Amino acid sequence: MEIRQLIARQRAYFQSGATLPARARVEALRALRSAVAAREEELNDALRADLGKSAFESYMCEVGMVLSELTYMIRRTPAFAADRRVRTPLAQFAARSYVKPSPYGTVLIMSPWNYPLLLTLDPLIDALAAGNTAVVKPSAYSPATSRVIARLLSECFPPEHVSVVTGGRQENACLLEQKFDYIFFTGSQAVGREVLLHAAQYLTPVTLELGGKSPCIVDETADLKLTARRIVFGKYLNCGQTCVAPDYLLCQESVKDALLEEIVRQITVQFGPAPLDSPSYGKIVNQKHFQRLLGLIQPEKVVCGGTWQEEALRIAPTVMDAVTWQDPVMGEEIFGPILPVLTFSHIPEVLELLKDRPKPLALYLFSRNKGHIRAVTERCSFGGGCVNDVVIHLATSAMGFGGVGESGMGAYHGRVGFETFSHRKSIVDKKTWMDLPMRYQPYLPLYEKLIRRFLR
């Protein structure tokens, strides 16, 4: 179906009111949940084809998280969609004031390739719970998963409710030329800027989920064994192709050597002595990305890994020591299995280092010093993060997930996601059995006294 015609049909369907009842929204979410659960094996196969993910990792990081968001929203959508009464000022007596959540209309959801199921369906779940229709554009770089998503959604919804547009840059450009009521984009900062420029043409509100160089800070009070275990998990999950992966390590000088020893040991524990041969270790998404990552590895600074299999598009978990801010690996978001290590002397130095750098999507701090924890979480600007862990902050529907500054704008998941795709109408229902005269001319001295009493 031609894109303009598809959007017109979605607008007509939305304007019919079919998506507005809370019961209809819940039924849509239940249909989606059943379809995802039924296609788990097919989704696992697609994720393995695109990214080499094991069935365990596919469920833990994609299928299971989608099902969790669906369960959360199915239970809570009626409450989220209900009017919320607020206090009415005395000057507006007699009246009832309330906020009415209302869907924007027809929304565009553009998703990336690194978590192609999760980052396509999670925002869609929130959009459907809020009562919108949606055009979904998955990434061309994860074709197997995109095909399954297209079949899955076509079975659950008529195209006027939810439709998938596949393809590459040409289709992206065509979609961005259209007028949508909301755009939700997950991807790179460069493409995010293009999305924002196109949205400005129609004054379309936008959520941008971008990325950045997310620091992982380790001070001398940290539990080094546990710290290494958790960093290795989060950094090399999905071969480092995770928007909230620790991008680089900022370690206090006094514990750097001990921490590096533990990290190298944990790589062997988690991935075996030959990670490139591990069936649970994924692959780089394509040759272009693979070659870019190889260009960031400086052999003289490698203390672990640094090997690869070009035919399989695999790069071993790699650690680089003695890295400086001028090295190529520190000039861009890595988005791969390379962990550069830098050092600091004292926490104030870290605060000074980070204050003028682009705001990251995530920040992680490993410490048992409450003063350090308070200073870093209060004074550093970042989208979200963890204390004494990595990555897991995005795995809860009870908190919003999003960036700040260069790492994005807006957030989603759970109630925050529902609100992202909703406009909150403020309504005053004024009663007719009383009408205070003070606002009407002629303005009398008595009325002025009353106004001053009410408004202070």
Give the active site residues. Answer: 209, 243
Closest by CA to 243, choosing from 140, 385, 405, is 385
DSSP string, 261-327: HHHHHHHHHHH-S-GGG-TT----S-HHHHHHHHTT--GGGEEE---EETTTTEE--EEE-S--TTS
8 Å CB contact between 367 and 387: yes
8 Å CB contact between 184 and 412: yes
Instruction: Mark 324-359 as b/e (b = at least 16 C-beta within 10 Å).
Output: eeeeebbeebbbbbbbbbbbbeebeebbebbeeeeb
Q: Which residue's entry shows tokens 């919804």?
A: 157
8 Å CB contact between 209 and 404: no
8 Å CB contact between 315 and 290: yes
Q: Is 189 left (phi over 0), alpha (psi -120 to 50) or beta?
A: alpha
Residue 384, strand partner residues: 362
Q: Which residue's entry shows tokens 């939810």?
A: 162
8 Å CB contact between 363 and 212: no
Phi, psi dihedral angles at 111 (to 5 degrees): -120, 160
DSSP string, 89-140: PGGG-SEEEEEEEEE-SEEEEE--SSSTTHHHHHHHHHHHHTT-EEEEE--T
Give Cβ neighbours of residue 40 (< 8 Å, ≥ 6 apart). Answer: 59, 63
